Structure 1
Amino acid sequence: MLKREQAYEALKEFRTADRWLDRHQTDISQLPETLREIAWALLGRNANGQTVSWDVRELISQTVNRLTEISEQARSQIFVALFPHIAPYVELGWQLHQRLPYQSYGKPFRARSEAITGARTETRVRWVQAILSITQEYEQDIEWYAVWAAHIWQQDILGILLAAAIEAGDSLSDRVFDTLLTCARGEHEIGAMGKHVTRSLLVASRPEGWTFIENLLIAAQRQEGLRQAILETIDEAHPEAFRRMVKLILEHDLLRFSATLRATDKWFGLGWDITQKKVAERSLRQVLSCLEDPGRLDSAMHSKDPQQVYLALWAIAFEDAMAAIAPLPNC
């Protein structure tokens, strides 16, 4: 693993920001007009590729949001023009957002309904623009990002991209996966542990990655920073990985650590503090039982305890937020 100063110096050789636009201008200009407008809008420019003043930023945002309205094939054309080395993974990352929580800020609620399209669109577009800001600075292939992510600003943004690469099932999937494991163990000569590792391994549909993170969390012991890095990405985890992590927290009494209590409270927003460990544990057990056995939801929904009703609704929203609204008139 490189030290921070060494990584900073080494990264200078890879910087491409001053030449990026020159290299991509031709590819963007050759896109069909409707797609060209979207590509330029992602770069904060008008349909002619010119920088714009703040008073037309809203129009630019509306153009960018058309990414959700076009076909996968059309979107891929834009991504090839902007991300020639990683375009397939950007598209897979875009699609991967369909099963991620539609919100930010630690609430693991998903949405199957198109009624929440606006929130999901905003999240997806912000992600693409964040990836674009990274690739403008360092335009490399997916293996490079797996190695160097820990040393790059906004490294956690790359977690979804790397998860997409792991799920791609192509010739690089195993190599990306193995690189991330090596970085997490501290055995890589360049790469290092970071949120990009925990996010990618928990989000991807690869149980070996979940097991690795589980073992890492158990072994953390006094490493509060490592524990926090893992816990802060559990809300985005694959639904089955989330259930497994909740089981792990309960089985190994990880709520005794303040970082665990803070993270779980963020999921529920109930304001727990260190004195409410028992309450948190009881709540986690109820939510887990509802997630694993939907048949228990009905009795919880008709409980006279408001918190039990809330946690039952929370478990429904974990799968589909709009479905949690339907039972409300009957509560």
Structure 2
Amino acid sequence: MEITKKLESKKLIKNYYEKLRKDLVEQTEKGLSTHVFPEKPMLKKEVAELGLFLMGKTNYYEAMTLGSKEAEKLKEYIKPDIWEDADYYKLLVYYFGENADLVKHAWNRMPYKMYQTSYFRRSFRAPHNERYVLMNQANLMRELVRAPSVYSYDSHDQNYDLSLEEQIVYDNEVSNNSSQFYVWSAAIDTGNTAIYQLIEDIIFNKHTEGKVSRNIVKALLNSEKKHCWELVEKLLLAAQRQEGLRQTILEALDETSIGALEYMTNVIVEHKLTRFSSVVRSIDTWTGLGWESEKESVVKNIVSLAHTYFSNPELVPDAIKSKNNNEVYMGLWVQGVWDVDKTVPYLHQLFDKGSVEKKCLAIKFATETGDPYIQMPLYYKAVLGGMQRYWHLLGATCQNY
């Protein structure tokens, strides 16, 4: 049966986002509801204003970016522990109904997620950097208000009100927003065994309709539960010649929990997976090393260093002092995965006291962070020190093997 027929009874009203926005405007300006959504709670003026701000001005997802006017307003709108306030918590109920607590859980985990996106993202986190934390949280909310949809050639996309189970089962047939997996993870981490069992059945091909998807893999890897990572490990090892599935798993890995990244790094080393091209591409994305293709021995060395520093964080300071550039870079990378701001003293140490190679390595790593507050002080030092003539070395900085 066609998916639109299956979900006929789950349709949301036509022009859902326009009507939702109009309802919030009415509550903001007049303290009244349009009564289009009678099941939704009334909100205080300031709460409805926050709802409008988080929703954005378009019917499609448009991320806030560092330095934008919207991002600069975040502090005005979002106070610490905002969802502990009963009035503001109503906004979560307004948007997400019975899943409000799960969205709150996902919101509280966002400081420990990557702050970069797209192909050029790296695995870095900034859990104590208010700019990135608020931006991550706001973008999560802006994404999650986008309801599941099915594209239509002859009309607007149709949106649906699906349960968590339906979102998961039909993930390959409907368009869930790209952050929905955070809510599925929250369900697992807060004790919803039915959601985990459903995903396990899909992974082992025991479900009659559900199929493995990128979002399902990300939900498992985003969880803080080890048994979820073990399930992905089984899927990865069973992939054998399925390079596409292996790539889906590995490319999703850096976007999820730090625990899962540490665990799966060990899996790659233990099961000698560095021979696969998908592993090379994924590690390049995680680290920014600039690989097109690389010798297996080099890839194995890089992953082994990551595993060593994850397992023994006390070795990171000595790694930064190493003569071997791979050890230095991966020590910085592992520290950046935990907290990129804590790499700053190391970067300045390398630049101030290191050789030309080490100075270039510091500049290279700072560039990969994508954080102008980390980059610009080092760039300024480089210009003052006449380093421009060494820029061409950046591409070869980490090839000391």
The TM-score range, normalised by the shorter chain, is 0.7 to 0.9
RMSD: 2.7
Output the amino acid matched with 2:257: H
C-alpha distance in 2, partners of 1:294/1:109?
16
Output the amino acid matched with 1:30: M
Alignment TM-score, normalising by the size of structure 2: 0.71
Alpha-carbon shift at residue 324 of structure 1 (Å):
0.9
Q: Does residue 80 of the first structure (1) align with residue 93 of the second (2)?
A: yes
Q: Does residue 220 of the first structure (1) align with residue 239 of the second (2)?
A: yes
Q: Which residue of 1 aligns with 2:283?
A: 264
Q: Which residue of 1 aligns with 2:171?
A: 149
Q: 1:329 aligns with which of 323, 340, 348?
A: 348
Q: 2:52 aligns with which of 11, 35, 40?
A: 40
Query: Contact 1:159 / 1:195 at 8 angstroms: preserved in 2?
Result: no
Structure 1 SS opposite 2:206: coil
Structure 2 SS opposite 1:78: helix
C-alpha distance in 2, partners of 1:222/1:175?
31
Taking every aligned residue pair, what percent have the same amino acid on both sides? 23
Q: Deviations over 1:52-77 (max 9, x none)?
A: xxxxx956983697245562224422
Q: Which residue of 1 aligns with 2:377?
A: none
**Structure having the higher Rg:** 2
Residues 40 and 29 of structure 1, relative CA distance in 2, 3 Å threshold: farther
Q: Which residue of 2 aligns with 1:188?
A: 207
Q: Which residue of 1 aligns with 2:10?
A: 14
Output the amino acid matched with 1:35: V
Q: Deviations over 1:197-236 (max 9, x none)?
A: 1111111111111111001101101112211111111103
Q: Which residue of 2 aligns with 1:288?
A: 307
Residues 129 and 10 of structure 1, relative CA distance in 2, 3 Å threshold: same
Q: Deviations over 1:98-156 (max 9, x none)?
A: 2222322442212232xx32223222222222211126822233233232233221454
Structure 1 SS opposite 2:302: helix
Q: Does residue 168 of the first structure (1) align with residue 180 of the second (2)?
A: no
Query: Contact 1:183 / 1:193 at 8 angstroms: preserved in 2?
Result: yes
Alignment TM-score, normalising by the size of structure 1: 0.84
Q: Does residue 107 of the first structure (1) align with residue 103 of the second (2)?
A: no
C-alpha distance in 1, partners of 2:319/2:279?
25
Q: Which residue of 2 aligns with 1:307?
A: 326
Query: Number of matched residues?
Result: 312
Q: Does residue 139 of the first structure (1) align with residue 161 of the second (2)?
A: yes
Q: Which residue of 2 aligns with 1:49?
A: none
Structure 2 SS opposite 1:297: helix
Alpha-carbon shift at residue 19 of structure 1 (Å):
7.2
Query: Contact 2:125 / 2:336 at 8 angstroms: preserved in 1?
Result: yes
C-alpha distance in 2, partners of 1:209/1:147?
18
C-alpha distance in 1, partners of 2:186/2:145?
16
Higher RCO (CA 8 Å, separation ≥ 6 residues): 1
Residues 187 and 271 of structure 1, relative CA distance in 2, 3 Å threshold: same
Q: Which residue of 2 aligns with 1:119?
A: 132
C-alpha distance in 1, partners of 2:343/2:70?
34
Alpha-carbon shift at residue 250 of structure 1 (Å):
1.5
C-alpha distance in 1, partners of 2:93/2:251?
32
Higher helix content, 1 or 2: 1
Structure 2 SS opposite 1:97: helix
Task: Answer with 20-29 or 197-206: which moved more.
Answer: 20-29
List gaps (5 residues or longer) in structure 1: 47-56
Task: Answer with 195-204 or 25-34: which moved more.
Answer: 25-34
List gaps (5 residues or longer) in structure 2: 21-33, 59-67, 150-158, 351-401
